């Protein structure tokens, strides 16, 4: 019954969380690393891009079965590239900026009243950084 219990809990409203959880291998979704609203990151030095990412993007793109950006990328790439954007090494500034302003799949576009050009630039540079 354990599996069923989880499925039932996950089916809140139209949210088939359990379905997502079942479809996302545990190994591909590391344990939670960010707070839900990480306004004050633990690191002493944090770039503007990382702060903007955490404030505006992490709710979808952090780790966890309820983070639709991460689960969607896991489904799309099947682990060929990391589902977590912050672990990607193949992102370019131009690509990130394009996706923010134009959206992709279920992700809508973000207007200048939501994220300024400077914020988009900072997020793109943060995600396109090379380790």
Q: Which residues here bind other proteins, judged by CB under 8 A?
A: 1, 4-5, 7-17, 19-20, 22-23, 32, 34-37, 39, 59-60, 64-68, 71-72, 75-76, 101-103, 105-114
Place of tokens 């990480």: 38
CB closer to other proteins out of 26 and 130: 26
Residue 82: CB minimum distance to other proteins, A: 17
Note whether 49 and 126 are within 8 A (CB). Answer: yes
Q: Closest approach of Cβ 43 to other proteins, in Å?
A: 16
Torsion of CA 112, 60, 98, 95, to 10 degrees: 140
Q: Which is nearer to other proteins, 60 or 129 (CB)?
A: 60
Q: How far is the CB of 117 from other proteins (least distance, A)?
A: 10
- Please say which residue, 94 or 112, places its beta carbon nearer to other proteins: 112
- Is 61 exposed, middle or buried (CB count within 10 Å of its CB: 0-12, 13-18, 19+)? buried
By the 8 A CB rule, do 127 and 88 touch? yes
Of 28, 18, 6, the closest CA to residue 81 belongs to 28
CB of 83 to other proteins, least distance (A): 12
Beta-bridge partners for 16: 11
- Residue 11 or 89: the one with the smaller Cβ distance to other proteins is 11
């Amino acid at each position: 019954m354990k599996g069923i219990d989880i499925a039932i809990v996950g089916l809140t409203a139209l949210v088939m969380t359990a379905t997502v959880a079942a479809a996302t291998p545990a190994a591909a979704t590391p344990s939670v690393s960010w707070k839900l609203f990480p306004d004050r990151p633990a690191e002493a030095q944090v770039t503007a891009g990382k702060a903007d990412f955490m404030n505006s993007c992490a709710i979808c793109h952090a780790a966890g079965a309820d983070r639709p950006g991460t689960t969607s990328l896991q489904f799309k790439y099947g682990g060929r590239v990391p589902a977590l954007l912050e672990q990607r090494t193949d992102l370019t500034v131009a690509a990130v900026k394009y996706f923010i302003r134009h959206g992709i799949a279920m992700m809508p576009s973000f207007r200048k009243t939501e994220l300024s050009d400077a914020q988009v630039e900072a997020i793109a540079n943060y995600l396109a950084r090379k380790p």
